[in-house]
Amino acid sequence: MKLADDMMALVRREAELRGRSISDQISHWVKIGRAFERSDQLGHSRTSPALADEIGVLSPEEEAWVKNFVEKMGYPTESEIAFHARRSSLGGGVGLDADGNLVCATRNAPAQD
């Protein structure tokens, strides 16, 4: 399968953001597209125009805003850094391990209920 360069860039970015392979990201979007088409058959009239790129196209100003927003959201604010430092100092949960278990700062083990 061959996709346009701009579409592949979008797939790569989303795959990286979502922790998926490129193949998994495309499969995910195919499933969503199929679900939208099915809902359109049931009378939800906005899905076909959306999939045909007839609605939802961003203006250059909106694209710039979204790009700026995404870039800013990629870095923590001073208050977020302080919040997580405090949680860490109190031994609170600071993230998830590979199995999805809450990891606590002081004992680096899954949290107990």
> What is the per-residue pLDDT for 69?
84
**Position 18 pLDDT exceeds 50:** yes
| pTM higher than 0.75 | no
Provide the token pair at 32: 């969503």
Q: Please give the Cα distance from 40 to 50 (Å, whole number).
A: 11
Provide the token pair at 2: 């061959």
**Phi, psi angle pair for 44, to nearest 5°:** -85, 95
Q: Over the stretch 47-95, which tens digit does the pLDDT of each residue have?
A: 555 555 555 566 788 778 878 888 888 888 899 889 888 888 887 777 7
